[in-house]
Structures are given as structure tokens and as C-alpha cells.
Amino acid sequence: MVGEKHPNPFRSRIQLRTKITGPLILLLGVIALTALAAPPEPDMVLIKAGTFLMGSPPDEPLSREDEQLHQVTLTRDFYMSRYEVTQEFYAAVMGTNPSYNNVCPECPVEMITWHDAVLFCNTLSRQAGLEPVYSIDGQNVRQDLDADGYRLPLEAEWEYAARAGGRTIFPNGDCLPSSEANYNAYLPQPGCEMGLNRAESIPVGRFVPNAWGLHDMAGNINELCWDYYAFFTADAVTDPTGPPTGKTRVFRGGSFKNYAARCHSASRQQGIPQQPLDMVGLRLVRTATGSGGGR
């Protein structure tokens, strides 16, 4: 018992054993500290390269003008984290939790800026012994997609992964039941049933994943992407990375605050890179170096 003050008949044996096993205890302590210092490792899903239709046709319910349907070919395989980055994961890497809903360690981290997100990716990469993707000079950020470190998804990678080879409006169908996503289901997709409005983020992974094993690709928290925001064109493109300059960055997926109109797979939102929001977080990606091919 902690705080025991009664005479201990085994005290001399304990002292003797301590002398004998002292070096072993020290070694075990070093091993334990090393394990504690090891960076967290996200659960990643391999996404094979391929070609898909990005955006939405104009006759699709919820379609918007900035979602011009066009063909996209991705030539790099990549890994994407199965879950949104949680508060406990972020805190283990950065030593801080900026989230508004900060009493839920398994909820997604939020209240981070786009610049916070790229710094987090670089920090995690260095801790894991990987090559950082981003070169950061103040507000100027460049990316090296050949580096093996963690990064934000390209917008095309995000939608490709969300669709998981399908063409439904949402990742798992043409309706989005609130039993399958955390969003404001008081205003669902036209023709679909009204559901819950939980009004806050919830722990990741509580709903069924999409066909490629990715959870919460619709709702819970919006997810930051690399790309500057601009309208799509109808031109077919290969490995798009967005415009070279801009004022706002894209985030995808919708959140607990959004109606269905902001949670479908083609929906695009934008934000100022310096502005944190309580409905915006991130999901990690890594380029699968040395691999190729398609689904």
C-alpha cells in the first residue's frame, strides 16, 4: 500500500535485490523512456493510383458551380490516415491541444490554422525519421511530393479517396443518415430523412468507413488540403496540385456544423490559412515512394 509505515520484514531482501539488479533496472528504465519518446504512428490505408471523375454534374442535387466535373488521373500511390488526427495524437507530437472541444481526447483536433497543420506534418515527419515534405519560410510554404514524410492531401487525392471508386453523392450512398455521419442532419439531402444535430465533434471512427476503409470522410470535422482555392475547369488533368498562388486554401468533407449540402464528396470550402476554426482539422497523407500502378 502506498504510504505504508509498518515495519517491512522484507526490507533487507529488497535492498539486496536492488543492489544486484540495479543495472537491469536502469536498462529497463532507458528502454521505457525510449518507448515513451517514440512518436505516435497513424493508422494508414494504401490508396492505389488511378483515374476518376472529380466534381459533380450540374444536374446532381447539391451541385455548385465550383464543382465542374472533370477527369483526374493520379499517378502516385499514397497512404491516407484511416481517421482524422485526434487531439491526443496532435498533443503527443506538438505538446499542446488548441481545440475548442478540448475535453474529448479521441475527437479530432481543431482550432488549428493551415500553417499549424503543415508545421505539425513536418514535426511528425522529423520525429519519425522521415524527410519533411514542406519547406517553410514564414508564410511561404513549398512542398516536395517525392519526400516520404507526412503531409496534407492534395484536393484531388482527398476526393478520390472519399469516393473510393464510386460515384454516389456521399462516400457511402446518395443519402447521408445521421447514423452514419456527424453533421447537422436537420437539413439532409433532398428526398432523404431528417436526422440528428449533435452540435459538436465526436470521437473518430464511430461510423462505418467508406469502401476503402476511411472513416468520417463526411462530417465531424472539415479536413484541410494543400491546394489554393479556385474554380475547376472541364479539362482533364494529371496529378493536379491546385493553382500556384491564392488567398484561401481548400478544406473538404463538411463538419458537425454543416448541412448535407457541405458534406457531399464534391463539396468544396475555403478558408484563410492564418485563421483557426473550431470545425476544421486534418487528415494525414504520405506519398508511397517507389510504387505505382492503379486500382
- Write out the three cell numbers for 271: 478558408
Q: How far is CA 272 from CA 65, 87, 112, 249, in A?
A: 21, 22, 11, 6
Q: In angstroms, how far is CA 139 from the centroid of its own chain?
A: 22
Strand partners, 80: 45, 285
Would the pLDDT of 210 be above 60? yes
Would the pLDDT of 5 be above 50? no
Cα angle at 96 between 213 and 278, to 5 degrees? Answer: 60
Domain-by-domain residue ranges, the chain? 41-287
Q: What pLDDT, on the 0 to 100 scale, is given for residue 37? A: 60
CA distance 282 to 268: 15
Q: What pLDDT, on the 0 to 100 scale, is given for residue 18? A: 38
40 — pLDDT class (breaks 50, 70, 90): confident
Q: For residue range 115-128, list pLDDT tens digits in order.
A: 999 999 999 999 99
Q: For residue range 131-176, list pLDDT tens digits in order.
A: 999 999 999 999 999 999 999 999 999 999 999 999 999 999 999 9
Q: What is the torsional sign of CA 241, 214, 119, 126?
A: negative
Q: For residue range 71-112, list pLDDT tens digits in order.
A: 999 999 999 999 999 999 999 999 999 999 999 999 999 999
Task: Give backbone dihedrals phi and psi of 98, rounded to 5 degrees, phi first.
Answer: -85, 0
Tell me which CATH homologous superfamily contains domain 41-287: paralog of FGE (formylglycine-generating enzyme) (3.90.1580.10)
Would the pLDDT of 39 be above 70? yes
Would the pLDDT of 206 be above 70? yes
Neighbours of 210 (CB within 10 A): 22
Q: What pLDDT, on the 0 to 100 scale, is given for residue 25? A: 42
CA distance 279 to 281: 7
Q: For residue range 225-282, list pLDDT tens digits in order.
A: 999 999 999 999 999 999 999 999 999 999 999 999 999 999 999 999 999 999 999 9
Would the pLDDT of 14 be above 80? no
Q: What pLDDT, on the 0 to 100 scale, is given for residue 290? A: 66
Q: Name the more confident of 180 and 36.
A: 180
